[in-house]
Amino acid sequence: MIEILLVAASDERAREIGALLRDSGMAHNLRSEAGDARHLVRHAAHLKKTDLLIIEADALSAADLGALEQASTHAPQLTCMLVTPALSTDMLMAAMRAGVRHVLSWPLDAHAFARELSHVAGKKHAQTRRAARVLSFVAGKGGVGTTLVAANLAYVLAAARDKRVLVVDLNQLFADATLLLTDKPPPATLHDLCTQIDRLDAAFFEACVARVHPNLDVLAGAGDPVKAGELRASQLQRVLELVREQYDVVICDVGQEINPLSIQALDQSEAICVVLQQTIPHLHASRRLLDLFGQLGYAANKTRLIVNCYDKREQVGVDDIERTLGARPAHLLPPDEKSARHAVNQGMPLAAAAKSSALAKSIDVLATALCPAQHEPAKRSLARLFAPKAGAAQLKPSH
């Protein structure tokens, strides 16, 4: 998905560029603004997230060139394209000096335009290779809240922590992770993807996921146990290899089934979150899970115990859990039936449907614990760099 900002002098040409973008078949988000390049300063914050800036103009003034130069200097990921009906050698040279790398004459040639777009998409793909943190959510018993926790944690990381997040629903029965985040049906399932695994590439993958937030995709579960049974660990391995490069966090809703497929996800996970509640059967099932993880060779510190619907008045307390499972719970989530039901029935994450609920707040704390913010040196914000300084010197081109 490429993020495009179009700044166009002519409304009519802006509409035509929009139509060409749609026809190109390239996945994109377009924001269109009327005006000149010199007004880029107004979009300083947005430029940070933009891959392609298209300027449509008859001419470029010194102020336009200065603003373009600042934009390309301070948003290094940005590719600048100029579209003009009045291209001259002088204009071409000035635009290139200001950081414009693609210059096209109006009327646009659809093929040339599509070729430039695919360069931008290729550049973005090369820049955005990531190494996702894979987190798996498992439970010894059904109905403990594994999917609710996994899906809502994913949403918080995407919407409030600006991470690119993918949820992979590995449930073998009637997988429902998508239902907790959207009321729209997913375009495809993990089973659909795996049965066409030879076609797998970034574009095919993108066509298979449900985009529930600009930062959050969900790969829906197989949908029924028969189809789920056909999935192969080697297929999931290929999917995970691909998605690790595209997302910051990959969350696998494993549920209860431990089989070659889910072991593939667990092997690749940095942390395995075991969700349980405060009853003896839950302790028993969780103990068996932890024993199994020991047999699979996982270090004890790879697992995190998450107690859902925690109530301190319950007979089985935190000390009992620690004694039985050999580790203190990493997090305690409160019971909040009203908020949980309200969110689930609307197909909305808790952070949107019941933002101030105790459960939403507790999931936010869990997000920080599982994905702590990395220490980054203080960055000068683009907005500050664009802020007007005394005098008019800031918009001067360097040539």
According to CB under 6 A, which one of 309, 348, 351, 366 is a site residue for ligand ATP? 309
CA geometry: angle at 87 spanning 84 and 88, to 5°?
A: 155
Q: Using CB under 6 A, which residues numbered 170 to 209 contact ligand ATP? A: 171
Angle between helices 358-370 and 337-346 (to 10 degrees): 80
The pairs formed by 86-94 with CB atoms below 8 angstroms and a separation of 24 or more are 86/58, 86/59, 91/59, 91/60, 94/60, 94/65, 94/397, 94/399
- Considering CB distances under 5 to 8 angstroms, the limit depending on partner class, which of ligand ATP, Mg ion, none binds residue 340? ligand ATP
DSSP assignment, residue 220? B
Q: Would you count residue 305 as binding ligand ATP (CB under 6 A)?
A: no
- Is-contact 307 332, C-beta < 8 A? yes
Per the CB < 8 A criterion, the answer to whether 101 and 74 are in contact is no
x/- binding map, residues 238-257, to ligand ATP, per CB under 6 A? -----------------x--
Chosen from ligand ATP, Mg ion, none, partner binding at 70 (C-beta under 5 to 8 Å by type): none
Q: Is 223 in the site for ligand ATP (CB under 6 A)?
A: no
Among 51, 69, 336, 364, indicate the residue that binds ligand ATP (CB under 6 A): 336
**Which partner from the list ligand ATP, Mg ion, none does 333 bind, CB cut-off 5 to 8 Å by kind?**
ligand ATP
**Window contacting ligand ATP (CB under 6 A); options: 2-10, 32-40, 86-94, 340-348:** 340-348
Residues 143-172 that bind ligand ATP (CB under 6 A): 143-148, 171
> Which listed option, ligand ATP, Mg ion, none, makes contact with residue 145 (CB within 5 to 8 Å by class)?
ligand ATP
Contacts of 38 (CB under 8 A, 6+ apart): 61, 63, 64, 66, 67, 395
Residue count at the site for ligand ATP (CB under 6 A)?
20
Which helix or strand (DSSP H or E) is residue 100 part of?
Answer: strand 100-105
Which positions from 239 through 258 interact with Mg ion, judged by CB under 5 A?
Answer: 255
Which residue is it, tokens 């000068």?
380
Q: Choose which of 25, 142, 214, 326 interacts with ligand ATP (CB under 6 A).
A: 142
- Site for ligand ATP contains 333 (CB under 6 A): yes
Q: How far is the CB of 78 from ligand ATP (least distance, A)?
A: 41
Strand partners, 2: 28
147 binds Mg ion (CB under 5 A): yes
By the 8 A CB rule, do 57 and 84 touch?
yes
139 interacts with ligand ATP by CB under 6 A = yes
List C-alpha distances in Å: 386 to 29, 82, 380: 24, 21, 10
Q: Least distance in Å: CB of 308 to ligand ATP?
A: 5
Residues constituting the chain = 399
DSSP assignment of 152-203, as one string?
HHHHHHHHTS---EEEEE--SSS--TGGGT-SSPPS-BHHHHHHTGGG-SHH
**Least gap, CB of 317 to ligand ATP (angstroms):** 17
Cβ 52 vs Cβ 79: under 8 Å: yes
In the bound state with ligand ATP, the residue whose beta carbon lies nearer, of 3 and 364, is 364
Binding positions for Mg ion, rule: CB under 5 A:
146-147, 255
Binding positions for ligand ATP, rule: CB under 6 A:
139, 142-148, 171, 255, 308-309, 333, 335-337, 340-341, 344, 359
